[in-house]
Amino acid sequence: MPWWGTVLFLAAVVLAIWGFMSIVGFRTRTLTRKTDRRAEDLYPNYAGPQRERHRSAHGHGVRRHEDPPG
């Protein structure tokens, strides 16, 4: 391989590493930023008194005190 091929290859490797690190950094900053949203605000159907949530889950077939089959 000629010397300029080696230089181009190394430049491409450095560019790929830089691109990967910049994308990962962007994702990290995006996913870990501060927010004022709460789970209750995002999922209003699940907010409410515990008894209502228990009845809703029970009505949809969720059983907490039974052993799983198998």
Question: What is the DSSP secondary-structure string of 9-60?
Answer: HHHHHHHHHHHHHHHHHHHHHHHT------HHHH-GGG-S-HHHHHHHHHHT
Q: Which pTM was predicted?
A: 0.43
> Taking a C-beta distance cutoff of 8 angstroms, is the pair 14, 21 a contact?
no
State residue 24's pLDDT score: 85
Over residues 13-40, the pLDDT tens digits come to 999 998 998 888 877 887 777 878 777 7
Percentage of the chain with pLDDT > 90?
A: 23
At residue 9 the predicted structure's pLDDT band, cuts being 50, 70 and 90, is very high
Residues 6+ apart with CB under 8 A from 16: none
